[in-house]
Amino acid sequence: MLLSALTMATALCSGQATATGTPALSPTAADRTAAASLPCDLYADGGTPCVAAHSTTRALYADYNGPLYQVKRASDEATRDIGVLSPGGYADAGAQDSFCAGTSCLITVIYDQSDRGNDLTQAPPGQFPGPAEGGYDNLADAAAAPVTVNGHKAYGVFVAPGTGYRDNDTNGVATGDQPEGMYAVLDGTHYNSGCCFDYGNAETNSRNNGNGTMEAIYFGDSKTWGYGTGKGPWIMSDLENGLFSGVNRGYNANDPSVSHRFLTATLKGGPNRWAIRGGNAQSGGLSTYYDGPRPNDSGYDPMKKEGAIILGTGGDNSTGSAGTFYEGVMTSGYPSEATENAVQASIDSADYAESPSVSESLTPGSKVSLRATTECCTKDSLRHDADGNVGIGEISGSSPPDAKAAATWTVRAGLGDASCVSFESADKPGQYLRHSDFRMRLGAGDSSQFKNDATFCPQTGHSGEGVSLRSLNFPSDFLRHYDHNAYIASDGGSHDWDATAAWSDDTSWTVAEPWSS
């Protein structure tokens, strides 16, 4: 307690932001010493305890020794809880890797580390239905966002459009005009303009219940309701029927574009006051982007918060968003800046870092061929035919030029998500590899549906060789060859091409030199 109090006093005297847009000084040595206390310990010391604490990368209490999240294996639908390596420590990513070896896994539960039981699970249908069975939202692929935390391998929650988690029956989360705070550590380079990549307080019926019925951190570059300086992305507050960057609807000059690879975003709100702060989650302090009265529009003072918790969607289950979440909490009470600064020091000390990329060979603008790795077919490459159907076929140095060209692809930044990739046909410019009714074909278009169908996210090959290419909008499906045709396929699904036999090999591809220049 004494150490935390000294830390907060140091933060008050040594440079947290004192005006909107004014950056804080880097945490002092005392701040970093206090980082031995984890975020929820620090919030408790500050009198604003956590009522929800979610992370797939590390414990958020120094004594936490329970599960962080649960994964479900595609091959047999078995589940496993993924815990920490030691009390107060980092995720046991090795347990996930072992459990999911040779197949794929989805994140089914993100456990609440507080004693409130506010776990996040698959978001149900709301005012807008999700794309999964029954109108539920998709679940995130468990291996899609690898990172390291203090040198330990871990995984974040990769939210593609259609993905969402929610708890509509919570315990202790602020309602009405009660004060609360929250923060989230996010990938500051993974975002879009869709609605809405949120983490925080939302409606308990998954519908838009009017102005002021939610209060959540938003991150992205949407300009539909509000925005700040530059091109974005921005940290804003989703208060329902408005993304707010300040007191006014629309533009507010003090909310800057942010681009840190790892981003800390904070939001807090109480009676006729709220604030946005943000900073680099790898080093340095927090800056205050807004601190003042509620928006000067009807319905936001007093607030009518309902107390559900969302991750990756809007309050009404709008699912057009993209982003990556690593950790976040919600508190009871309005945290002081000193507490938030101490929490930021703890985040800095976690030493978030990028995991080595598996897609260095898939550089946008380069030309590649994708060769099968299954023992039967190592001479075969992914290619299209004259009718635009896509499968695999044997290609060699003596193959005709048109066959070589049909097996050559130009890598592009993902049409539906720039953090992933798309493949443009080298000999049919403007035509992209996309799935349609699960079958791979060439196609062209500019709709969001087409762009998502034509986007694939690389990860380590399921067989341990090459890369596997996950469908952006079907997180459990990967590019697979089956009977010489190409599909997106899950491991053990309902279609013939989902067969478990050879699935890990069939979904692993060698990125090779292009057959055609």
Beta bridge partners of 180: 269, 332
DSSP 417-439: -TTSEEEEESSSTT-EEEEETTE
Residue written as tokens 């969402």? 164
Count how many Cα atoms sit within 13 Å of the Cα of residue 373 in the half-sphere of its side chain: 22
**Nearest-10 crossing angle of helices 2-13, 337-349:** 100
Q: In 3D, which of 270, 258, 278 has the Cα closest to residue 217? A: 278
In the annotation, is 316 catalytic? Answer: yes
> E strand or H helix at 250, and its extent?
strand 250-251
Q: Which of 240, 291, 348, 453 is catalytic?
A: 240
Q: What is the 3-state secondary structure (H, E, C) of 359-391?
A: CCCCCCCCEEEEEECCHHHCCEEEEECCCCEEE
Q: Which residue is associated with the tokens 């009198």?
A: 47
Asked if 206 contacts 124 with a C-beta cutoff of 8 angstroms, the reply is yes
Sorted by sequence, the CB contacts under 8 Å of residue 188 that are 6+ apart come out as: 219, 233, 258, 259, 260, 261, 262, 263
Question: Beta strand pairing status for 226-227 and 250-251?
Answer: parallel
Which position among 167, 215, 316, 424 bears the catalytic label?
316
Q: Which amino acid is at 233?
A: P
Cα 48 → chain centroid: 27
- Is residue 471 within 8 A of residue 456, CB to CB? The reply is yes
Backbone angles phi, psi at 478, to 5 degrees: -130, 155
Return all residues near 309 (Cβ < 8 A) that are at least 6 apart.
52, 118, 120, 166, 167, 170, 173, 200, 201, 202, 330
Three-class HEC string of 154-220:
EECEEECCCECEEECCCCCCCCECCCEEEEEEEECCCCCCCCCCEEEEECCCCCCCCCCCCEEEEEE
How far apart are alpha carbons 387 and 393 in whole angstroms? Answer: 15
- Based on the residue annotation, tell me whether 306 is a catalytic residue of this protein: no
Residue with tokens 């006729």: 272
Helix, strand and coil percent figures for the chain, each rounded to 5: 15, 35, 50
* Bridge partners, 53 (sequence order): 329
Active-site positions?
240, 316
